[in-house]
Amino acid sequence: MNLNHLAYFIAALVATFGFGVLYNVPTRTLFASSFAGAVGWIVYYILSFQLELDLFVGVGVAAFLVAYFSQWYARHFKMPVIVFAIPGIIPLVPGGSAYNMMRAFIEGSSEMALMYATETFLISGAIALGLSVNSGLFQVFSNRAFEKRDKRYLP
């Protein structure tokens, strides 16, 4: 942890906070969701850029972590998970690769464009996978009276 990490952490915090305000997150949970988003982004940065793992792995782990924080907050504040998860994943959204894809298409280099398109697709898939795996695990492990519980409405 050095000064750079702190700057990135604050940047991610501000970004998540701004989107929380845009999506009208309840005021008393704004900082909680910002914190989840910032931690998620720092983990993504360390895994993907410093340890140089695949982007897919970094984003997946970060999304899993954001979802874990969100589940915990949801129980603590007694609010739905999306109140925390939607602002929290904003810094992970592949805006950069989507832009690069568009730019490559316009400049006529469709091979590069296809590469960036794959990257965009994989990253958004990894975000969704992280969230889904986490909610699945929570469904199984969070409730002791698993057998007695009313089943969710899943048509």
Contacts to other proteins by CB under 8 A: 7-8, 10-12, 14-19, 21-27, 41, 78-80, 82-83, 86, 89-91, 93-96, 98-100, 102-103, 105-107, 124-125, 127-129, 131-132, 152-155
| Least spacing, CB of residue 97 vs other proteins, in Å | 10
In the three-class reduction of DSSP (H, G, I as helix; E, B as strand; rest coil), residue 123 is classed as: helix
Rg of the chain over all Cα atoms, to the nearest angstrom: 17
Query: Residue 36 or 83: which CB sits closer to other proteins?
Result: 83
In 3D space, the residue among 43, 61, 55 whose CA is nearest the CA of residue 122 turns out to be 55
Query: Residue 22 or 146: which CB sits closer to other proteins?
Result: 22
| Residue whose entry in the numeric block shows the structure tokens 């898939």 | 125
In the three-class reduction of DSSP (H, G, I as helix; E, B as strand; rest coil), residue 112 is classed as: helix
Query: Residue 54 or 128: which CB sits closer to other proteins?
Result: 128
Query: Residue 57 or 82: which CB sits closer to other proteins?
Result: 82
| Least spacing, CB of residue 121 vs other proteins, in Å | 9
What phi, psi does 146 have (nearest 5°)?
-60, -40
| Least spacing, CB of residue 25 vs other proteins, in Å | 5
The residues near 14 (Cβ < 8 Å, ≥ 6 apart) are 34
| Least spacing, CB of residue 147 vs other proteins, in Å | 19
15, 91 Cβ separation under 8 angstroms = yes
